[in-house]
Amino acid sequence: MLIRKPADIKSSEITPEHMALNRRKFLAAAGVATAGVLGTGKVLSAFAAPHQQNDKPNTYEEITTYNNYYEFGTDKEDPSKNAKNFQTRPWTVKVDGLVKKPADYQFEDLVKPYKLEDRIYRLRCVEAWSMVIPWQGIPLADMIKRFEPLPSAKYVQFTTLMAPDRMPGERQPILPWPYVEGLRMDEAMHPLTLMTTGLYGKPLPNQDGAPLRLIVPWKYGFKGIKAITRISFVEAQPRNTWQLANANEYGFYANVNPEVDHPRWTQASERRIGQFRRQKTLMFNGYADQVAKMYAGMDLRKNF
Amino acid sequence: MFVLALLPLSYIAWKFSTDRLGANPIRELEIETGLWTIRMLAVALLVTPVRRIFGWNWLAKYRRMLGLFAFFYACVHLSMWVGVDWFFAWGDMWHEIVKHRYILVGMLTWLILLPLAITSTKGWVRRLGKRWVVLHRLVYLAAVTATIHYLWAVKKDTFFPVVYLATFALLLGYRVIDARRKSSRARPPRSGASAAA
């Protein structure tokens, strides 16, 4: 198939050994007793762990069973259960709007020209939990160059597949469907922004947004739109779904910012999944050196 | 009944110790103990209506215990937040309480339940007399604030909070109507008097 592995980094190198062990143990521990021993062990080690920044990647198990993906249910475990039989082929991505080369791309054709890159990023959810995730994908900038956007294109708008028959969550009026997200052109072209097709060196699991999702590591997780079927180049700032749903709580920029609280949750600290103690949230999720200059002079309290 | 009321806690503890609470067990512990507080309140408040409607008077002796279990689950819930979620970071917790209204309402709920739990003993019932009944009507307020705490904590899936809110409204409505009926029975029938005039 067309998912090529990069020659320079083997995925085995970014798969920590403890995780491989965990998976093996997990299979062995079908019995309650064994699972109990494991669980207690994990809990005890979590208690003993000191309070510190630790960017060890989360396990495949954690990343694939704790998902916010309302198209497949609102509970964290729902997507892993409800997206099991979701068909991601054939998959078409419509590219339209202010570009020289608008087209309907087959997923395979869309990713074919590029070498997939491995990127280990922190992911900070607006709900004050976080993970470290080894993604695999294509820098969005490389993809955008191929579409040749016009100078009038100021924003990129992304749209999730609208298919209530295949995505049970879309049958519920929880959010205005389909899910829409957007980036300013300079954010979209930033080298950290990743069109993601894989996780731990394997094709993206359905519950994590297969076949194609966005990852913008300095923004809250909800900017990472999943199952993308349309990329539009537009002049006006797109109205993203969570902003439409509740403009007081979710904005367009959604940059991780410990100084601007969400009305209901603190954003000053976060719980890294798998760790017992909270840790401090970093400005721009720790990517300030690379991205802060894009927002120079902006009031980040207003543009939250 | 005592064992029955402890089953949810045992189930949660079993899930925790066997690593079945998912990737974020601390959040699950908070959600589950919070939900069981609300459920216990609902069960405790169901005792009187069920007793009146079906004549199951033997239920009366369990009402206090069920109410105390609601408080017990509220205490477990609160201690999860204080001791596990925030690990006794008092300053940060204070910030949470004053800045986030759902935390404030949750705290308020616990503060309403506290005096009710203290005055649940026979001695206090005797000492307070009629005032005890008035004081313990506050449990309906606690049920409502607990559910608002739940409603404000969820993002968009407000179905269950609304169901609980409707349940408590129904239970309170029944008690109000029941009390009216009783008081009109106790008084001389006014409609009869006007008919005679």
Q: How many Cβ atoms are within 10 Å of B164's Cβ, its own excluded?
A: 21
Confidence tier at A262 by pLDDT (50, 70, 90): confident
Would you say how long chain A is, in residues?
304
With 0-12 CB in 10 A as exposed, 13-18 as middle and 19+ as buried, what is A187?
A: buried
The H-or-E segment that residue A230 falls in is strand A228-234
pLDDT for the residue B190: 53
Model confidence, pTM: 0.80
Given an 8 Å threshold on Cβ–Cβ distance, is A266 in contact with B86? no
pLDDT for the residue A27: 37
> Does residue A77 sit in helix, strand or coil?
coil
Phi, then psi, of A247 in degrees rounded to 5:
-65, -20
pLDDT for the residue B194: 43
Angle of CA points A56, A16, A214, to nearest 5°: 65
- DSSP assignment of A157-216: EEEE---TTT-GGGGSTTS-SSPEEEEEHHHHTSTT-EEEEEETTEEPPGGGTTT-EEE-
Position B30, amino acid: E
A78 min Cα distance to partner chain B (Å):
11
pLDDT for the residue B188: 57
Is the pLDDT at A39 greater than 50? The verdict is no
pLDDT for the residue A289: 96
Is A175 at the interface with chain B, CB within 8 A?
yes
A189 min Cα distance to partner chain B (Å):
31
The conformation of residue B82, written as its DSSP 8-state character, comes to I
**Mean of pLDDT values over B140-148:** 96
Is B22 at the interface with chain A, CB within 8 A?
yes
**Mean of pLDDT values over A128-148:** 97
By the 8 A CB rule, do A14 and A134 touch?
Answer: yes
- Among A146, A65, A59, A152, residue whose Cα is nearest residue A102: A146
Is the pLDDT at A33 greater than 60? The verdict is no
Q: Which residue on chain A is closest to B105 by alpha carbon?
A: A264
- Among A264, A247, A268, residue whose Cα is nearest residue B150: A264
Angle of CA points A46, A50, A52, to nearest 5°: 110
Share of chain A above pLDDT 90, in %: 76
Of B23, B95, B157, Cβ closest to residue A66: B23
Question: Is the ipTM above a cut-off of 0.90?
Answer: no
Of B23, B85, B157, Cβ closest to residue A62: B23
Rounded CA gap, A126 and B72, in Å? 31
Is the pLDDT at A58 greater than 90? The verdict is yes
A18 min Cα distance to partner chain B (Å):
16
Phi, then psi, of A228 in degrees rounded to 5:
-75, 130
By the 8 A CB rule, do B149 and B168 touch?
Answer: no
- Among A68, A83, A73, A77, residue whose Cα is nearest residue A222: A68
Rounded CA gap, A257 and A9, in Å? 32
**Mean of pLDDT values over A251-279:** 91
Is the pLDDT at A46 greater than 50? The verdict is no
A254 min Cα distance to partner chain B (Å):
16
Angle of the B101-118 helix axis to the B90-99 helix axis, nearest 10: 100
Is the pLDDT at A87 greater than 70? The verdict is yes
- Tokens 């090529």: give the residue: A4
Tokens of B112: 């309403």
- Among A238, A80, A73, A89, residue whose Cα is nearest residue A159: A238
In tens, the pLDDT along A173-221 reads 999 999 999 999 999 999 999 999 999 999 999 999 999 999 999 999 9
In tens, the pLDDT along B92-116 reads 899 889 888 999 999 999 999 999 9
Contact residues for A92 (Cβ-Cβ < 8 A; gap 6+)? A104, A105, A106, A107, A229
By the 8 A CB rule, do A54 and A192 touch?
Answer: no
Rounded CA gap, A67 and A186, in Å? 28
Is the pLDDT at B1 greater than 90? The verdict is no
A272-A277-A280-A282 Cα dihedral, nearest 10 degrees: -20
> Does residue B92 sit in helix, strand or coil?
helix
Confidence tier at B16 by pLDDT (50, 70, 90): confident
**Mean of pLDDT values over B190-196:** 45
**Mean of pLDDT values over A39-66:** 67
Given an 8 Å threshold on Cβ–Cβ distance, is B100 in contact with A265? yes
pLDDT for the residue A70: 97
In tens, the pLDDT along A272-298 reads 999 989 999 999 999 999 999 999 999
In tens, the pLDDT along B54-86 reads 999 989 889 999 999 999 999 999 999 999 999
- Among A78, A47, A257, residue whose Cα is nearest residue A167: A78
pLDDT mean across residues, chain B? 89
pLDDT for the residue B182: 82
Given an 8 Å threshold on Cβ–Cβ distance, is B92 in contact with A269? yes
pLDDT mean across residues, chain A? 86
